[in-house]
Structure 1
């Protein structure tokens, strides 16, 4: 019997098609959304700001990119922190020749009325003001510092960046669109970064669905689709990629298989292979 799902995917009987370890009906993508032209979204960071790198050695899902805005302030692009650490977490500047993070200098967050404590943050931009006696050139590291336990939740090494000139992230992205026909609080806006990478900004999924993966294809017929491995890139198993767990409004970057081209994709789905249903999908041009 033919059946149509609310997510806009149409099932046709027969046959049953085996794709890897997943059994799928022969499925075609029903193009129900209005078509649109892919557009380029310009980056939010001026090209003349010095780039220092991304936070490394992280805890509590910290992520973000650090730039020098001018000689007296730093800028963090799309900072993320789950807020599960104890009170008193700060952005702490470690001056030259200082090795004890506890002796670092907490910086004021301009967008939060110059408060120093870092709250739960889901992809916000922050400007950090340095005190009068400190310049960006005097800072060796920026640390997300938990003073209560004396641990770092992530750091950027400015001194290392000055010596190595890290590659600046590609900030001009090609807009595809947002997830539609969603279940399990799936949300996010999809962009093409280049032929090998997709970016999903503010990706959200409640983690309550069974056996959920990211799934994409270059043809309308879903049996030609491929699993996309996030966040377990390179994970190999006879059972396929690890399944998605809860993600709360987080920016994620997906590396496509070598034989796929982001500009040739037709669709991307948050796909439940247990019930063969999409929890949200985006159609490309």
Structure 2
């Protein structure tokens, strides 16, 4: 016959009680550890993502860097898309967080579970204080001096005080960091326009070494667009930000910046174009699948 312990007035000896609690705690840690993290201060459990994000930038918007993936939402409405700008810089697009956590920080670390073995990353203003609320904001943050993303596996909005993960993205360590790319030189068609190989410095900036143009056309401009050079293209300001017809150049190295929000991912060519007579003096094709750094303008960062 099954003996049933009486519920009325039933008490465990204190030592037995603590032993049972320890057994339960150890079972949770050892059995559910790969899937849950146990809070050190309030025994709350928070689910940790076990999935790595896609390594391909094609899953995100390459204008903002190498796409690490979307933040998984667990608490306090945390969401957003996370990009690696370089080995020390992260950009988070459309960041949301209600600001109600008691001690929430940007947090990075190694391993398969977000926790106190990681370290804090200052916010977009360089502060180590509790995070404010964000509503669809885009922020750029930098890892502490001497730290890089190499070897890390996650980024999180994390409450250190209660060991609770509000939202995270996991990624592999072999990040293909964006970097400047040397492409072709301008192909010469008229007016002695030529250059050495052009460098795409970032998503909006070209460095044109040894640029020459005889200055004899009535209204030549730097010009970009889709397809082949045509009147449907767009003027690009000169190296001084001017929009007047180009003057003569003799082997000068210049830097030009695409206007507004146009990036190298939106265009197929860079040209020197005569607007009045619709004549292409020189051009080069913009390669597909570039992986160059985002511009400061795209990140919303003021030049230093």
Question: TM > 0.5 between the two?
Answer: no
Higher relative contact order (CA 8 A, sep 6+): 1
Q: TM-score, normalised by structure 1?
A: 0.42
Q: Looking at CA atoms only, which structure, 1 or 2, has the larger radius of gyration?
A: 2
Which one has the bigger strand percentage? 1
Q: TM-score, normalised by structure 2?
A: 0.40
